Structure 1
Amino acid sequence: MARVSQAHLDARRRQILDGARRCFTRNGFHATSMQDVFKETGLSSGAVYRYFRGKNELIRAVAEEAFDRMRLAFESAGREAPLRPLDEVIDGVLTRALEEQARRAGTDRPGAFAELILQVWSETLRDESLAATLHALYDRMRVMWVVVVRTYQDAGHLRADVPADHVVRVLMALIQGFIVQRAVFKDVGGELSSGLRALLSPEADPHYRG
């Protein structure tokens, strides 16, 4: 019997993940059945179950990949620090990440990926394994961004009298809030960049001593 190549196995897994992502983006986690995934991918149940034991594993894999891609995007942009204003880096990377992931999900709505992320966050309330996965991903992202923020602090672009980790946690909260607004209110756009610019400008603080 001919041995199946790793490239073939990887391509089949990619086919399943992409199909599941399209289903989840279109119908949500709970309204999507495994039958929907079989139909979307054009694969038999046996072919899909060879890679994923059920919908929860598919949700976890889609979520982990999406968040890891976003982490890598921010990590790549962080290498430009502090050559570009921090607000431009955050806004540009987040916008590109939302648009790229929306395309991968087969839609031209950038807000579609924000909706998917919101679903993932909701799932962590009932799925401890998914919560642990996301916690680890956020920790990796937070550690990376502490280094970036310190670079901006050392260059005098951010206040240096506040621990970098505190700044990062607030920035991540702002980004998460923006994602929620994109998912719920739909019409949020360029406000993130201008708002961040105002908040991240040291000159805006009358007590700042640069």
Structure 2
Amino acid sequence: MPRVSEEHLERRRRQIIDAARACFIRNGLYETSMQDIFAEANLSAGAVYRYFKSKSEIVDEIVTEGGGELQKALSALVNTDPPPDPDRLCLAMCQRITELARGNGPARLAIQAWAMAAHDGRLAAKVRQTMMTSRDHWVTYVRRLAETGRLPADIDADAAGRVLFGLFPGFILQHLLLGDAEPEEFAAGVRALFPVTAFTGVPTTAATTA
């Protein structure tokens, strides 16, 4: 029997993940059965179970993959020299989220995954790790702003990083559920709350006239 190539194995694995994600988005995580995934992927049960032992394993993979895409984008931006202003970082991250929320993109499942994680210990561990890693990136970002003199040196980076991190689940909720949140609008809001002058040591208008 000819040996199956790594490329073939990866294509088949990708086929299963894409089929499962389409089912989850269309029918919901709970309502989708393994039989639905077999049919969507046009594969036998044996072919799917060769790669994933259960629906939970497929969900874990999709959550890890989607979170990894966002973390990769955030890490690259945070480690840019010099780090971007908050509004520019917000714009770039919100744009990436909207890209991942198009069609059958992984961000479309974020809200369902959070809800499922509330009472699924296995998934909760995956979601928690993804969120904590992202939050750590935001803490690093605040520290880098402080190191470059754009925030006070004694700022509580952990507290500030948690606040900035919290903006993005909020953007996902509004973008997916309300349908009226756009990257440019969010960036403008961040710019209004955190004007560039607040990150350069130059007094703001309010502070000057007080």
The answer to whether the Cα contact below 8 Å between 1:91 and 1:192 also exists between their aligned partners in 2 is: yes
User: What's the secondary structure of 1:3's corresponding residue?
Assistant: coil
CA RMSD of aligned residues (A): 2.3
Question: Counterpart in 2 of 1:165?
Answer: 158
Task: State the number of aligned residues.
Answer: 201
Task: Measure the CA separation in 2 of the matches of 1:88 and 1:42.
Answer: 43
TM score, norm. by length of structure 2? 0.85
* Alignment CA distance shift 1:58-1:148 (3 Å): same
The answer to whether the Cα contact below 8 Å between 1:66 and 1:101 also exists between their aligned partners in 2 is: no
User: What's the secondary structure of 2:138's corresponding residue?
Assistant: helix
Please say which structure displays the higher CA radius of gyration.
2
CA-CA distance at 1:193 after TM superposition: 0.5
* Alignment CA distance shift 1:205-1:46 (3 Å): farther
Residue from 191, 198, 202 that aligns with 2:192: 198
User: What's the secondary structure of 1:102's corresponding residue?
Assistant: coil
Task: Measure the CA separation in 1 of the matches of 2:204 and 2:109.
Answer: 35
Moved more, 58-67 or 2-11: 2-11
1:149 aligns with 2:142: yes
Moved more, 143-152 or 164-173: 143-152
CA-CA distance at 1:17 after TM superposition: 0.7
Question: Counterpart in 1 of 2:78?
Answer: 78
* Alignment CA distance shift 1:158-1:194 (3 Å): farther
Aligned residue type for 1:93: M
Task: Measure the CA separation in 1 of the matches of 2:154 and 2:173.
Answer: 30
Task: Measure the CA separation in 2 of the matches of 1:204 and 1:120.
Answer: 41
**Mapping 1:1-210, distance limit 5 Å:** 1-103=1-103, 105=104, 114-189=107-182, 190-201=184-195, 202=198, 203=203
CA-CA distance at 1:178 after TM superposition: 1.4
CA-CA distance at 1:130 after TM superposition: 0.9
CA-CA distance at 1:147 after TM superposition: 2.1
The answer to whether the Cα contact below 8 Å between 1:146 and 1:168 also exists between their aligned partners in 2 is: yes
Aligned residue type for 2:187: S
Q: Structure 1: where are the runs of 5+ without partners?
A: 107-112
Aligned residue type for 1:187: D
Deviations 1:119-139 (A, max 9, x none): 110011111111111222222
Q: Structure 2: where are the runs of 5+ without partners?
A: none
Deviations 1:133-187 (A, max 9, x none): 1222222222233222211122233344321111111111111111111122111
